[in-house]
Amino acid sequence: MNKFLTILFLITLSRFVQAKEVKILSPDKKILVTLNTEMHNKSALNYSVMFQGSVIIAASPLGLELEGEDPLSAHLEIVSVSQKLVNDTWKPVYGEKNIYADHYRGLTIRFKENTKPFRSFSMDFRLYNEGLAFQYNIDNKKPVTITRELTGFQFTRDHASWIARESQASYTRERVSKTPNGTERPYVIEIDPKCVVALGEAALTDYAQMKFDRSPKDSLLITAALKGKSVFDSSFSTPWRYVMIAESPGRLLENNYFILNLNKPSSLKDVSWIKPGKVIREVTLTTAGGKACIDFAAKHHLQYIEFDAGWYGHEYDNASSALAVNVDASRSPGPLDLKEVIAYGKSKGVGVILYVNQRALTKQIDTILPLYKSWGVAGLKYGFVNVNSQQNMKWLHEAIKKAANHQLMLDIHDDYRPTGYSRTYPNLMTQEGVRGDEESPDSKQALSTMFTRMLAGAADATNCYFAPRVDQMGSHASQMAKAICLYSPWQFVYWYDRPADAPRAKGGAGSAASVIDEIPDLSFYDALPTVWDDTRVFDGKIGEYGTIARKNGNDWYLGTMTDQSRSFTLPLNFLDRKTKYEATIYTDDSSLQTATKILIRKIEVNSSTVLSFDLKAKGGEAVIFRAL
């Protein structure tokens, strides 16, 4: 970590003994947060937020509801305030950039009730240029049960918002007043054409998951909704609640490291074994299929293959044990010699990832992890994990730590959305919690996902290419662009597809048995990195269009997608000024007599070049800029 400046100072207690409000400015002074112990002439802890002089969140409630006690929200005095200004940078093990800024003004404010039972607690506030975050801190000497949070977000107008009811659900454009109970986070809301916010939580590890409800008393008040009680026997801090703020959806996405900043630094001293890469799923559950995938991966610069559900029996049969290979006959007749495949992969420089369902994990995780490590497995995909409750969230994050103890990387599938824990445990490579290609999302959904779900972090979107559903979702060029735009350090590619040498009559996935043809298109996925040194989001409207460029080493990779036909130009001034590049452009061309209708052309460009794009409806384009 390069620490440029850290200033810590205490504000004298006497100044705040009689104060009822505290004001906090972001470092760039564009965001102002006001914390007050009175609201509408009543005793009630609240906060409000202004951005560039305009109110974006009016006076909104704060507090906790405790089982068997009065809510901790009223009749409060400010006892003390401490403030610090932090201006740091830190380097991730991998990421969308190779260095992140951590610049904020932080306050810790201690409150005490002025009526019996005179309870006290504190709150931490952090005000970044990218938004604000706060958490509650409780010093308790007896068991405490949180039944509800009183945290709210009071809007003044019925703004447009993008709603997903579940982590893998479709997004719909609605209004704040139509927010359904249980709305997923991050929750993106457009305040006006020059201001977009996202509500969410960060650093969730030992607490009930938060979603969003609409207040039954005020349709413009969005409230934090916990998925169960949270119980503590000693002092604790809640996860962070945040409001990201930016001038555009693209800038909001560029700033998504904000969530990582709210998590603790890496707990791992040795990270040499953590290796991002591309993954192909083995769909036949056979030795021959595994070796065919490894040969394909080695030839086409993929780093891993993955055996999905069925390799140890039916994943929902309680008799299935993940301690040995026992192929589910309903999926494949086998045979599968897993150790032989792992050894073959090592000889080719290709790792093997294994899927394990929550049922087996719950019963066998402490045996599974050292066993798989002894087999030479590179990592696991935790499937159909349990979430929502404090107990489930604590178990899952402990399971991430346990995997790290055995130097195993992870992909968490199904109903789990990240809150930044990959900073602390970077063996958590990716996770689902997204409407990926398994659900055949059209381009409108993909472009909604880009500016909403992707704020939370990496997403395993199961990128398809040869499967018939690609034509339903959009185009082959848009699939390439999607692989750039939707970040995932473990990037699954050719989902539902199998190499030409894999068995054809054994196994299947998603009722598909599409074969990967050795065509020029593959050169794009061959070259595609999965982690980046820099990321630029140039333009975008949620659900309509978006363009992202990412840098890896000396080369840049650009993806652009659209829902409706769109023509535009893009100056390449993000390229290094003193370098010439060969641009390989992958674009849709319906006039071609090929299955994928991809036109590949190469031109020389530099930072003064202006590229023109002419995208068809539901189309896209991908460009690789190689430094010459």
CB contact at 8 A, 157 and 220: yes
The single residue listed with the structure tokens 């002092």 is: 235
What confidence score (pLDDT) does residue 513 get? 75
pLDDT at residue 76 in the model: 96
Q: Residue with structure tokens 């006690």?
A: 69
Please indicate, yes or no, if residue 548 is contained in any of the structural domains: yes
| Identity of residue 485 | C
149 plus 228 within the same structural domain: yes
Q: And the tokens for 575? A: 């390229």
The pLDDT of 318-331, averaged and rounded, is 94
> Are residue 134 and residue 162 in the same domain, yes or no?
yes
Assess whether 24 and 150 both reside in one domain.
yes
Assess whether 510 and 543 both reside in one domain. no
b/e per residue 231-263 (b: at least 16 CB within 10 A)? bbeeebbbbbbbbbbbebbbebbbbbbbbbbbb
pLDDT of residue 141: 83
Answer yes or no: is 526 within a domain.
Answer: no
pLDDT digits 0-9 by tens, 338-389 = 999 999 999 999 999 999 999 999 999 999 999 999 999 999 999 999 999 9
* Full 3-state SS string of 190-234: EEECCEEEEEEEECCCCCCCEEEEECCCCCCEEEEEECCCEEECC
508 shares a domain with 371: yes
Convert the pLDDT of each residue in 146-159 to its tens digit. 999 999 999 999 99
Candidates 329, 317, 541; CA nearest to 450 is: 541
- Specify the pLDDT at position 1: 43
Instruction: State the angle between helix axes of 390-405 and 358-375 in degrees (0 to 180), rounded to the nearest 10.
Output: 10
Mean pLDDT in residue range 119-135? 97
Q: Which of 259, 26, 8 is nearest to 128 (CA)?
A: 26
Range name among 11-15, 142-146, 186-190, 415-419 with the lowest pLDDT average = 11-15
The residue-averaged pLDDT of 289-318 equals 96
User: What is the Cα–Cα distance from 329 to 306, expressed in whole angstroms?
Assistant: 19
| Residue 7: pLDDT over 70 | no
pLDDT of amino acid 2: 45
- Closest C-alpha to 440, from 461, 454, 460, 458: 461
Do 12 and 128 fall into the same domain? Answer: yes
- The whole-number pLDDT of residue 509 equals 53
Three-class secondary structure of residue 91 per DSSP: coil
| DSSP codes joined into one string, 412-425 | E-SS----STTTT-
Q: What is the pLDDT of residues 473-527, one digit of tens each?
A: 999 999 999 999 999 999 999 999 999 999 986 665 545 678 999 999 999 999 9
Same domain for 244 and 310? Answer: no
Please give the tally of structural domains in the chain: 3
pLDDT, averaged across the chain:
95
Q: Tell me, what's the pLDDT at 16?
A: 45
- Strands across the sheet containing 379-383: 428-431, 409-412, 379-383, 351-357, 304-307, 277-282, 490-492
Regarding whether 325 and 415 lie in a shared domain, the answer is yes
Q: Tell whether the model's pLDDT for residue 13 goes beyond 50.
A: no
Kindly state whether residue 441 falls inside one of the protein's structural domains: no
The tens digit of pLDDT for each residue in 607-621 reads: 999 999 999 999 999
pLDDT for position 539: 83
Q: What is the dihedral of CA 8, 133, 387, 427, to 10 degrees?
A: -50
Name the nearest CA neighbour of 431 among 230, 229, 204.
204
- Torsion, CA 137, CA 141, CA 143, CA 145, rounded to 10: -30
- Note down the domain range covering 91: 2-261
Same domain, 378 and 497: yes
pLDDT, tens only, 226-235: 999 999 999 9
DSSP 239: P
Which position has the token pair 């945040």?
A: 242
Q: Is 295 exposed, middle or buried (0-12, 13-18, 19+ CB in 10 A)?
A: middle
In a domain? residue 360:
yes
| pLDDT tens digits, one per residue of 105-118 | 999 999 999 999 99
Q: Is the pLDDT of residue 12 over 70?
A: no
DSSP per residue, 516-538? E---TTHHHHHH--SS-SEEEEE
Is pLDDT of 288 > 60?
A: yes
Q: pLDDT tens digits, residue range 438-485?
A: 999 999 999 999 999 999 999 999 999 999 999 999 999 999 999 999
In a domain, 90, yes or no: yes
Instruction: Clarify whether residues 292 and 244 are in a common domain.
Output: no
- What phi and psi, each to the nearest 5 degrees, are found at residue 599? -95, 130
Output the domain CATH number for residue 595. Answer: 2.60.40.1180
- Alpha-carbon distance of 352 to 380, in angstroms, equals 9
Query: Is 469 part of a structural domain of the chain?
Result: no
24 and 70 housed in the same domain: yes
Contact assessment for residue 254 and residue 196, using Cβ atoms and an 8 Å cutoff = no
Highest mean pLDDT among 126-130, 139-143, 327-331: 126-130
Residue 250 parent element (H or E): helix 249-254
At residue 301 the predicted structure's pLDDT band, cuts being 50, 70 and 90, is very high
